[in-house]
A and B are shown apart, each in its own frame.
Chain A
Amino acid sequence: MFSLFMLVTLLLIGNKSVFPAGGDIKKTEMKKLLPSEVEGYQADGKDQFYDRQTSFQYMDGAAELYRAYAFKLLLVRRYLKADHPPMIVELFDMGSPGDAFGIFSYDTEGEEVGVGQGSDYGGGLLRFWKGRFFANVFAEKETPSTKTDVLEIGKALANAIGSEAPKPKLLNTLPKGDQIERRTRFFHHPLILNHHYFVSHQNILNLGKGTDAVLAAYSLPEGKGKTFLLLIRYLGPNRAEKAFKSFLSAYMPEAASLKTVKTENGKWTSARSHRQYILIIFDAPTQDKADGLIGATLKKLEKK
C-alpha cells in the first residue's frame, strides 16, 4: 500500500528535502555577508554551517553557551593568505538583536576596538555584534600582524552586515550613575547568571528561555568592589511571584517584610517583585544604596 508515510519518505530521501528549504535561504544570506576576499586573504571555499543540533560537532563543550541563547545558525569560513596563519570567521545568526547583544555581553573583559555595535579584542580573538548577528574572528596562530588583520577582517564583515538594531529594552530601565557599561550582561539561562555572579547551583529564580534578565554592575567608591543589580522579566506576574518566593526561601529566608538582609560579607542584598519583574540588588555597601537602586529602577519600570 502506498501510504502517505511512504510518499513523504520518498520526498525526503537522503535527507534532502524537495520542499522549499528556508534553511538554505538563510545560508545563502549569511554567505553573502562574508567577503570572499579581504586584506589579501582569500576564502578557502569550504564554508561550514552548523545549527543548534549540529553545533556540538564544531564546538565540543562550548556549544551550550550559544544554545543558552536563541542561536539559529553558524557559518564558519576560513581565510588564507601566503605566509600568514589562516584566519577563522565564525558568524552566528542569533535569532534576534537582543540575543546577539546577549552572547556578546557574556565576555567583555578585553579592549573595545570600535567594530560593529560593540566589540571586544583580547588574546588574538575579536568578538563583536551587529543587528541579529554575532561574530568571532581569530587567527589559528598569533603573529605580530595578527591583531591588525583580525580587526580589518572584522570591520569588513561588520560593514557588510548593514543595519544596526537596538539593545534589549530591559537595559533602558537600569539606573545610570556609577554603572559600568561594559559589565552589563543580558541572558536567559541560570548558568550565564552564575558565570557573572554566582547565586545558586540550583535554578532558584526559575530562569529559562521564557525569561529575559539583565545583570548590571555598579562601581563603589575607592575601588571597594561592585554592587550588582539583577532585573528579570517573566512571562507574567504569577510566574514572577512564584520565582520571587523561591528566591526568598532559598537565598534570604530570614528577610522580613522589607526583603533586605545584610549578608555574611557585610554587604546588603535587597529584593522586590513588581508586576512581571523581579529586581535584586547584591553586595550594596549600605542599605540606603540598595534602596536607592531599587527605587530608581522601579521608577523607570513604572514609566514603561
Chain B
Amino acid sequence: MTMKKRKTITRRDFLRGTVYSALGVTLDSTLGKETGAEEKVKVVLIRDENVSDQQGNINLKIIQNMLDDGVCELLGEENPIHAWKKLIKPTDIVGIKSNAWGPLPTPPELEAVIEQRVLDAGVLQRNISIDDRGVLNNPVFRSSTALINVHPLRTHFWSGVGGCIKNYIMFTSTPWLYHADSCSPLASIWSKPIVRGKTRLNILSLIRTQFWSRGAHHFDRRFVSEYKGLLMGRDPVALDAVGARLLQLQRIAHFGEDRPLDTTPKHIFVADEKYKLGISDLRRIQIVKLGWAAGTLI
C-alpha cells in the first residue's frame, strides 16, 4: 500500500492555516467540533492534583484510583477488576512495555499498579514482566499473548513526540532504521509478530509532561509540566494525537507563542493514514475528562 503523494509542507502553509489539512489530518482548535456520523474513538483523560507532591513523590493509592477510574470509564464497567478481566485473561502472558528514559521514565508507581491489576485479573506472577530495552531478550515478552503499553508524554528530537507509537521501537533490533523521515515508519513496528494484535491497553503517562526540549539530553526541568494526569485508550494513535496537541498547548501557555517542535510529529499522522493503526484526526476522538479540571488545556 502506498500513501498518496502530498504537497511539500512549508512555513507558508502554517501561515495560511492550511498545514494540517495538507497533512490530511486535523491538529488544531477544531477539537470538539462535530464531524458527522463517523464513530469516534474514545480516550479517557483523568487527573488528580494530589497524585504527586512538590518533590515529585507519587501517591500510590491515588494513582491506583486514577488507573481504576480511567479503565472503568473506558470499558463501561463499575468494578475495576471486572474491567481488567475484559482486557486480560488469566491464561495470558503479559508484557508491560514501559519506558526507562532516565530524565522522565514511566513512574515506577504506575508500573506497579498496572502489574497489580494484571495480577488481579488472574494472571500468574511468572507470566508478567515489565521491561523496556530488554524486551527482545525477555522470555515473557517473547512468548507474550497480551501487551500493556505505557509511556510518558514528551517531546523528542527525532520524532517530534515520544508516546505510545514510538514506545514499541524496542521491539526491533535495528531502531535506527526507523529514524528516517522524522521516524514516519514507526507504526510499521506494530505489525511485527512479537506485537501484532496483542496490545490491550495504551496509557500515556501525563503525570509529568515534557513540552519542550533543551539541554544535554533534551531535558530541562523548566520545560516539564506537573500535569498530573493519565490518558488511556485502546487506540495508540488517538492517544498520541491528543498528546501532541496537549504539548502544543503547553508550549503556547508557557512561551506565549506556538513554538514548533524540531520535528513535526508526522509519524502519528502516517500511523493513521498509511499503516491504519488508529485515528489521528482529533475531530474523530472523544476525550472523556475525569477529575481535576484546572489547567487541563484540552
User: Are both chains from one complex?
Assistant: yes
User: What's the Cα separation between A60 and B16 when bound, in Å?
Assistant: 35
User: What's the Cα separation between A65 and B215 when bound, in Å?
Assistant: 11
Residue of A nearest to B260 (CB): A198
Residue of A nearest to B214 (CB): A107
Chain A interface residues toward B at CB < 8 A: 56, 59-62, 64-65, 88, 90, 107, 109, 122-125, 127, 136, 138, 142, 191, 194-195, 197-202, 204, 250-251, 263-265, 282
Partner of B9, one of A65, A90, A202: A202
CB distance A198 to B14 under 8 Å? yes
CB distance B158 to A64 under 8 Å? yes
Residue of B nearest to A76 (CB): B216
Find chain A residues with CB under 8 A from B215 CB. Answer: 107, 123, 125, 127, 136, 138
User: Majority SS of interface residues in chain B?
Assistant: loop
User: What's the Cα separation between A201 and B6 when bound, in Å?
Assistant: 12
Find chain A residues with CB under 8 A from B102 CB. Answer: 60
User: What's the Cα separation between A61 and B221 when bound, in Å?
Assistant: 17
Partner of B218, one of A62, A88, A197, A202: A62
Find chain A residues with CB under 8 A from B157 CB. Answer: 61-62, 64-65, 191
Q: How many residues of B contact A (CB 8 A)?
A: 33
| Nearest 10 interchain pairs by C-beta | A264-B15, A136-B216, A62-B218, A200-B10, A195-B262, A250-B8, A198-B260, A123-B220, A201-B9, A123-B222
B4 within 8 A of A: no
CB distance B221 to A123 under 8 Å? yes
User: What's the Cα separation between A136 and B217 when bound, in Å?
Assistant: 10
Residue of B nearest to A198 (CB): B260
Q: What's the nearest-Cβ distance from chain B to residue A219, in Å?
A: 16
Could you tell me which residues of chain B, from 243 to 274, have a CB within 8 Å of some CB in chain A? 260, 262-264, 266
CB distance A265 to B15 under 8 Å? yes
A199-B10 contact given A59-B217, A123-B215, A138-B216, CB 8 Å threshold? yes
Find chain B residues with CB under 8 A from A194 CB. Answer: 260, 262-263
B182 within 8 A of A: yes
A-B contact pairs, 30 of them (CB 8 A): A56-B176, A59-B216, A59-B218, A60-B101, A61-B156, A61-B162, A62-B219, A64-B157, A107-B214, A123-B215, A123-B220, A123-B222, A125-B216, A127-B215, A136-B215, A136-B216, A142-B221, A191-B262, A197-B11, A198-B14, A198-B260, A199-B11, A200-B8, A200-B10, A201-B9, A250-B10, A251-B10, A251-B11, A251-B12, A263-B15
